[in-house]
Structures are given as structure tokens and as C-alpha cells.
Amino acid sequence: MIPRYSRPEMVAIWSPETKFRIWYEIEAHACDAQAKLGVIPKENAAAVWKARDVEFDIARIDEIERETKHDVIAFLTHLAEIVGADEARFVHQGMTSSDVLDTTFNVQLVRAADILIADMDALLEALKRRAYEHKDTVRIGRSHGIHAEPTTMGLTFARFYAEMDRNRARLVTAREEVATGAISGAVGTFANIDPFVEEYVTEKLGLVPEPISTQVIPRDRHAAFFAALGVVASSIENLATEIRHMQRTEVLEAEEFFSKGQKGSSAMPHKRNPVLTENLTGLARLVRMAVIPAMENVALWHERDISHSSVERNIGPDATVTLDFALARLTQVVDKLVVYPDNMLANMNKFRGLVMSQRVLLALTQAGVSREDAYKLVQRNAMKVWEEGADFKEELLGDGDVRAALSEAEIEEKFDLGYHTKHVDTIFARVFGD
């Protein structure tokens, strides 16, 4: 986790304070459940809630951990210092550390997912707004980086909206994947604790019971969670790449917002570099690098080993904090992107009329020319535009073989931009549903 690529709300989920607070809630709710079952006295369960508004002394917990080399025991010892050793003596009864640790990790991931989903909603809103704003702003569509046929900037925004909307659904699924808790004991048999405790505690925490755990919650869930984050990150890279291309000097169809005080370069004052989207490209790699370790974490030995833990201490915070930051940054980039419609038109006309060659090809075929011949007719005129800077329409009008098949009016009609944008409303209706 790099401070400059972090936002406080997400960082807070991974703080020691938050972690110990969730531990506490699990222990306290578990005591309540045990008391309801008659396993422990009601007064002892009630006493645990004395710590409800007490701030835990993290330095003290650390101190105990240095001695015991066990984090949950350290916390329980500190909790007993607050609640009273005697009153606290039923806390954690029948539970194992992993019951607390694994359930807590999932609570954190669920909260992280909630933030990511909200981030995504903001991004979707920005994309939708910009899509409608530029619904009819014509620009050239490109395949292989080469001009193809006209499209609109609105369609560009709309396709990223659709992609991010799919990512939203993936985040919702990912959240469900990890919204489970387990309080099932040392190897998951509930030997020392009734399944009711798990049901009670998970419900209080907004989770569902893990149907079958061992000592740990199975890690295929977390693999699926981080894989979803990796897909989202890859889509961020996709949109960032589009913007980087639009901003390059020769294209200049859009620019990231450039604040007044900002210096683009220490040496070249005219440069406005797409540094935010380049940064997002790198951040996408950082989120994505969590995917394979999360998958390697699935195969634990027998009922559990702890090889996954150090991995999760890293990727839990890092992947969620980085993705949160990236989504927020991307939203800002989209929101404030400076779009240059004039440059879009100028670029489209760089090779005069050539982008209409597909239409001409089609028209020739429809006029009865064989596909092979039509291809050759178009190609020979297109090459003059490409190599000599000729105007494609003029060449066609002057080509006897073409004119044998198409009238002047028919040729003129092929260069009408409206032809390319006639289904934009249809596509928008598909994407935005309205």
C-alpha cells in the first residue's frame, strides 16, 4: 500500500483499530450466543459489552503479543484487562483463533467491496453523463490503430459504461463470495461449540455461515474475490489506454484536465502529459498481481496451514486500497476529460474520404460488381489517396469503371456521416436501458 495511492476510508478498514473492533464484536456476540444456549452465564456475556465504547490500547496489545507470540491471545488478555479477568473468563470459549481471524478478514473484504461498488457507481455516473454529452460527437473509429469507419465519442464512453457495469456485477458477486463467517472450532467439527453460535454471530455481522469450514474458511472464495478485482483492474487499464491514445500529440482528441498550478515537466513547459492514465495503467498491474498468489493460496494442507496468511496481509489491503484509489482517480479523469471535437473531425479527414471505402465497396457489390472486382476498384482509388493525397470521392467520380456501376448521386451519398450514426440511439437504449 503506497500512501500516495490510498484513500482514507479504505485504509481505515485495514487499520489495527478496525481489526480489533471486529474481533471484539465477534467475541462479544459469541458470548451472547453462548449465554442464550446456557453454556456461559448471562452476566459474563453482558460484562463483555463494557468494552463497547472503550478504545483498545494497541501498543499494549502489541506488547503482550511480543511476549506470547500469539495475536489473539494478546487481544483477549487486553480485553480481560478492560472487562475484568474474572468476568472475561468465558470469552472465546470453545473457539479457535481462526474463527475470529477468518471471519474478521471476510468482514473487511465485504466492507471493502461495498466501497468499491460505490466507487463503481460514481464512475458509471460519470461515464453515462459524458456518453450523452458526446452522443453525436463524431470521431473516427480505429482498428489496429488505423482509421476504419466513423463512430462517436458517445459510443466510446458508452462501451466503457457497459464494461464497467459488468464489472459492477462482478464486484457484487465477489462480495457474496466472501460474505461468510465461521465459528466452527479447531477443525470445523463444532466439537466445542454449537453451530448456533456461528449462526448468531454471522447474522449480527451481516454474513452467512460458511456451510462447511475446516479451521479456515475455504480460500477458493478469496481467489474468486481477487480474480474479480483483477478483471476490474484490467478494464481500468483498457479505459486508461484509450485516453492515453487520445492525448498523444498527433491525435489530441482529448486531454486529462490540467490544473492551473501544475507543472507538466521540469524542462518542457508545453507538455501536458497523460500522467493520470499512465499511472492507472501501472495501478492496474498492481491490483492484478494479487490474482495468482490468491489462487496459490487455495491449496492448504489438510484442514489448514498458515501459508495464505502473509499473502493476505499484503494483498487484502493493497489490492483493495489500490483499486479504490484507481477507480476514484479514473472517475475524476472521465469527469473532467477535455474533449476536442474539432480535432476529431480533422483527424478523420486526414486521408480524404478514405474511411468511406467500406461503403463504396458494398455499394459496388450491391450494384452487381463481383466482390473481387469491387475490391480491386476500391483499392486502386484508395491507393491514390494514401500515396498521393488525392480526394477519394473525386477519384471515384473520375473512375470510369466505378461510374459504370454507380451514379454521381450514389457516390455522393456514400460520404454522408449520418449513415454511420443512425443506430447510435439503438445502442444507447441497449446500454442505458432508457
Active-site positions read 144, 265
By CB under 8 A, residue 337 contacts a copy of itself: no
* Parallel, antiparallel or unpaired: strands 208-209 and 180-181: parallel
From 42-50, 116-124, 383-391, 398-406, span contacting a copy of itself (CB under 8 A)? 383-391
Question: Would you say the C-alpha torsion 28, 33, 36, 37 has a positive or negative sign?
Answer: negative
Segment 159 to 198, residues that bind a copy of itself, using CB under 8 A? 159, 162-163, 166-167, 170, 173, 177, 185-192, 195
Place of cell 442464550: 36
By CB under 8 A, residue 272 contacts a copy of itself: yes
Question: Would you say the C-alpha torsion 169, 170, 173, 178 has a positive or negative sign?
Answer: negative
Near a copy of itself by CB under 8 A: residue from 21, 117, 141, 332: 141
DSSP 176-241: HHH-EE----TTSS-SSS-HHHHHHHHHHTT-EE-SS-SSS--THHHHHHHHHHHHHHHHHHHHHH
By CB under 8 A, residue 67 contacts a copy of itself: yes
Question: Shortest distance, CB of residue 384 to a copy of itself, whole angstroms?
Answer: 10
Q: How far is Cα 137 from Cα 134, in angstroms, rounded to an integer?
A: 5
Near a copy of itself by CB under 8 A: residue from 17, 55, 57, 305: 305
By CB under 8 A, residue 151 contacts a copy of itself: yes
Near a copy of itself by CB under 8 A: residue from 297, 331, 339, 396: 297
- Count other Cβ atoms within 10 Å, centred on residue 12: 11
By CB under 8 A, residue 338 contacts a copy of itself: no
Q: How far is Cα 354 from Cα 41, in angstroms, rounded to an integer?
A: 84
Backbone φ, ψ for residue 149 (5° rounding)? -130, 160
What x/- string results for residues 77 through 106 when contact with a copy of itself is judged by CB under 8 A?
Answer: --------x---xx-xxx-xx---------
By CB under 8 A, residue 15 contacts a copy of itself: no
Near a copy of itself by CB under 8 A: residue from 78, 168, 221, 393: 221
Cell reading at 351: 486521408
CB closer to a copy of itself, 53 vs 145: 145
Question: Shortest distance, CB of residue 209 to a copy of itself, whole angstroms?
Answer: 8
